[in-house]
Structure 1
Amino acid sequence: MDRMRDVREAIGEWISHIALRSPARLALGTFGAVILLFSGLLSLPAATASGERAPFIDALFTATSAVCVTGLVTVDTGSYWSAWGLAIIALGIKVGGLGIMTLASLLGLAVSRRLGLTQRLLAAGEARASGLGDLRSLLRTVVVVSFSVEIVIALVLLPRFLTLDYGVGRSIGYSSFYAISAFNNAGFTPDPAGLYPYAADFWMLVPIGLGVLIGSLGYPVYLNMVRGWQRPRMWSLHTKLTLIMVGALMLVSAGFLAVFEWSNPDTLGAASTQETIGNIFFQSINQRSGGFASFDVGQARETTWLLEIVLMFIGGGSGSTAGGIRVTTLAVLLLAIVAEARGRRDMEAFGKRVGTEVLRGAVAITMIGVSVVVVGTAVFMAQTDITLDRALYETVSAFATCGLSTGITAGLPPEAKGTLIVLMYVGRVGSLTVAAALALNKQRRVIRYPSERPIIG
């Protein structure tokens, strides 16, 4: 007993040492370990409908896509995996949506009733808490919002599946799966045909779309809105920018999608006006991160692909289940452009000044994201004979953890699947987290060089 206690203490001290020295590396390692765990579970014969062991590359791809809440698949989710396999995928989505470090802190809080400094720092980084003092309230908000929204969505969808004669057990399983997948912006569907058969079924599309929208806002926004629901004017700048950017991008997306696809008979052109409008708004929510599709994206026009590539790269809110560079990053870049165009020294919004360090972070996140996508697309094209338009769409979807696809994922060679696995992993843990994990040390310079302004443009 004493020896076991000594081993546990030694392991705890080792983990604490790594966490304090490099929390980013610990987060990367933990996330990778969880992906491998779910890969092993999906490799079991009981996880497939045929009872045969799934190829490891497909099990690893599906596990990565689930834990990274992406939605890209190499095999049909509804027909290839068994009920046990679907349960594993749903659990992977839930774990990935909450965030590994956040989940670890929740478990630690439940056991010890208090959080250590290391756990607080790690969870604050994962959930984008504004400060350590907000962490306990933020974690409570994470649990309440995520489970409440998922339960409500499942209860709304359950009667619909019962009317389709799915049976009680299957209806409960499907409604729960869709609820978890929607709120966590995962895009997985347990139906073999996906959402295509429900393109005119608003009983299905509305709760799923609302779940994706709520999940893409971010836990800091929920916390701020819950605390100040009676005084919207007192909401934080982050909350205001997130809500404005999400609403604006939805309208822009819906407008361009209507222009590009209204007359396309292979997507929206053959539907009624009511169905078309409903699908446009449903797709405008999912284009940034949700990953659900009510029509065949592979049949859409290339202009629509370009629109979706841009929207996927932007993604959702910080600290949310969405991916991409995040809407507040785009907002800061736009504020910098406005300030420069007006000749102002500071970036300002809603009576607040945005510091230059925030702009540096936004530029860094954007440039790292662009670099990862460019390199990933080049590698992906070298591994396949796929054209640039489809290759760029697939790699951006993987990096932005969106999950939309033009239909090429299932036929990819193993090495191309590996490239998408890496992109999903990098996109979920965050570009800056990867950069911090690879950095050997930090340097604090006491001496600063004299400034000089180069000519720009």
Structure 2
Amino acid sequence: MLDNNVYNLYVYWNNTNFLCCYEACERMSRLASPFPEFSKFRLFKLSPPQILVGGFAAVILIGTLLLMLPFASASGHSLRFIDALFTATSATCVTGLVVVDTGTHFSVFGQIVILLLIQVGGLGFMTMATLFALLLKRKISLRDRLILQEAMNQSSMEGIVRLIRRVLVYSLVIETGGAVLLSLRWAADMPFGRALYYGVFHAVSMFNNAGFDLFGNYRSLTAYAGDSVVNLVVMLLIVSGGIGFIVMADLIEYRKSRRLQLHSKVVLSMTGALILTGAVVIFVFEFTNTRTLGSLNFGGKIWASFFQSVTPRTAGANTVDIAGMRQATQFFIIILMFIGASPGSTGGGIKTTTFTLMIGAVVSMLRGREDIVLFRYRLAQERVFKALTITLLALLLIVSVSMVLSTTEGHPFLTILFETTSAFATVGLSMGLTPELSDAGKILLCLTMFAGRLGLLTLAYALGPKQGKPLYKYPEGKMIIG
């Protein structure tokens, strides 16, 4: 009864400060506990961002220990701790950067461990924990709802469990469909058992935007650059995982409601614009490059252009040699990776909505308007501040890491910037630097992937809880800008 009252109180005061409500819930929970002195030592003392950070770190640690087991490697020798840590971090953060080749170095056991880490990391460990709770018919507590709200980047707890159920169903259906189609295609090239295993692995990897592959020698999907089936299925998996579960739910309900939320309209329009623009730019820049599109027929050029435009949505797979691209194309892909996927998805980056809001702010300023209007909706100024904060923090992190790696690694700056952006945006595309990184560079990229997957604001709230809103305002000042 108490949980329902607290839940209703939270929904009613949804626009008030988050942490104040959370502290009130904590106090009421302590009063309701038969052991109030013991309850203060519970996990409930941690805020949702702190639990998310600790949970992902625990999953990475467990994955590291499993990958260090001798039978996790095909050779039977234990993987170095730093390499196991990097692989586990890349899989859990659904990045795809690798220091050892997944297809040749790891045994089937090691590959399955990586696959499980990808699934847990893509959907979120709290989503997986909710799955087990639902299977065991256990009640989802208020604390769990608060953590799920933070994990799914929602503004309210209302309907959060229903959303999690949909996330699980959508993921299972899409991954199963992708696995079947890929298995049937690859059954023509390899034994059916192996084709089925490859189909399942790559369907999960691509839907979760991880980019891990089993084809060996860091080839990714380059052998299928002109294959329409592989290209189409993989691109659909990547886009499905990258647009976010909220948009998927909105699209499915469109037949009944005949309307889309503002969030869905922004995500779909910006995703489509980025994919189309990226395909055109890559097609033009790489048309005569014999190391990429130049050696393909016209149809292959079209498929490869669209695939390389889709994969910076934080997927990490590639059908042409990224290192062989012209520098202009590589820099353009860095921009696409920085933007990344959409909120509530398996991808990273600053997100398409953040980029849209920044573009909207620029357009409004140039037109002399005070408000940002998208699809006839005015956006609150608080959203602009959040978008600006996320963008500047991301730029600061990428620039700082790139500067340090320029000191520790002896590679061209564009290569370092590409790899750093790929790590932060949890993309996994590589120009060949990652396998050659020093131990210091591997640790730095591990931290970058971790920050990119959880989100810089979540990490900031976990390290230093957000303060309540001030009860006063300072006098307005004037400063010359521009």
Category of TM-score, reference length = shorter chain: over 0.9
Deviation at 1:224, TM superposition (A): 1.9
Rounded to whole Å, the distance in 2 between the matches of 1:156 and 1:328 is 31
Aligned length: 447
1:55-94, aligned counterparts within 5 Å?
55-94=80-119
* Aligned residues of 1:297 and 1:406 also touching (Cα < 8 A): yes
Rounded to whole Å, the distance in 1 between the matches of 2:38 and 2:113 is 28
* Aligned residues of 1:127 and 1:219 also touching (Cα < 8 A): no
Match of 2:208 in 1: 184
Deviation at 1:213, TM superposition (A): 0.8
Match of 1:364 in 2: 389
Would the alpha carbon gap of residues 14 and 170 (structure 1) be closer, same or farther in structure 2, given more than 3 Å must change?
farther
Q: List per-residue Cα deviations over 1:297-348 (Å, max 9, x = no partner).
A: 0111110111011010100110101100000001111111122122222111
Q: Does 1:252 align with 2:284?
A: no
Q: Does 1:201 align with 2:227?
A: yes
Rounded to whole Å, the distance in 1 between the matches of 2:446 and 2:101 is 17
Rounded to whole Å, the distance in 1 between the matches of 2:42 and 2:132 is 16
> What code does the residue aligned with 2:192 have?
V
Match of 1:122 in 2: 147
Q: List per-residue Cα deviations over 1:215-271 (Å, max 9, x = no partner).
A: 100011112222233444x21111100000000000110111011111100011011
Selected match of 1:394 from 415, 419, 430: 419
> What code does the residue aligned with 1:407 have?
G
Rounded to whole Å, the distance in 1 between the matches of 2:323 and 2:155 is 41
Would the alpha carbon gap of residues 14 and 112 (structure 1) be closer, same or farther in structure 2, given more than 3 Å must change?
farther
1:2-401, aligned counterparts within 5 Å?
14-19=41-46, 22-165=47-190, 167-192=191-216, 193-232=219-258, 234-401=259-426
> What code does the residue aligned with 2:460 have?
A
Q: List per-residue Cα deviations over 1:45-91 (Å, max 9, x = no partner).
A: 11111111111111111110000000000011101111111111111
> What code does the residue aligned with 1:418 have?
I
> What code does the residue aligned with 1:268 have?
L
Secondary structure, in 3 states, of the residue corresponding to 1:189? Answer: coil
Q: Tell me whether 236-245 or 382-391 shows the greater mean CA deviation.
A: 382-391
The TM-score with structure 1 as length reference comes to: 0.94
Structure 2 residues not aligned, in runs of 5+? 1-32
> What code does the residue aligned with 1:62 have?
T
Structure 1 residues not aligned, in runs of 5+? 1-5
The TM-score with structure 2 as length reference comes to: 0.90
Match of 1:411 in 2: 436
> What code does the residue aligned with 1:454 have?
M
Match of 1:3 in 2: none
Secondary structure, in 3 states, of the residue corresponding to 2:275? Answer: helix
* Aligned residues of 2:238 and 2:313 also touching (Cα < 8 A): no
Deviation at 1:441, TM superposition (A): 5.7
Q: Tell me whether 48-57 or 396-405 shows the greater mean CA deviation.
A: 48-57
Q: List per-residue Cα deviations over 1:89-138 (Å, max 9, x = no partner).
A: 11100000111222223333333443111111111111123421121221
Rounded to whole Å, the distance in 1 between the matches of 2:104 and 2:283 is 32
Would the alpha carbon gap of residues 10 and 187 (structure 1) be closer, same or farther in structure 2, given more than 3 Å must change?
farther
Provide the identity percentage: 38
Deviation at 1:430, TM superposition (A): 0.4
Deviation at 1:440, TM superposition (A): 5.2
* Aligned residues of 2:239 and 2:313 also touching (Cα < 8 A): no
* Aligned residues of 1:288 and 1:313 also touching (Cα < 8 A): no
> What code does the residue aligned with 2:249 have?
L
* Aligned residues of 2:322 and 2:430 also touching (Cα < 8 A): yes
Would the alpha carbon gap of residues 36 and 11 (structure 1) be closer, same or farther in structure 2, given more than 3 Å must change?
farther
Rounded to whole Å, the distance in 2 between the matches of 1:12 and 1:291 is 44
Q: List per-residue Cα deviations over 1:371-392 (Å, max 9, x = no partner).
A: 1101111111121111210010
Cα RMSD for the two superposed structures: 1.8
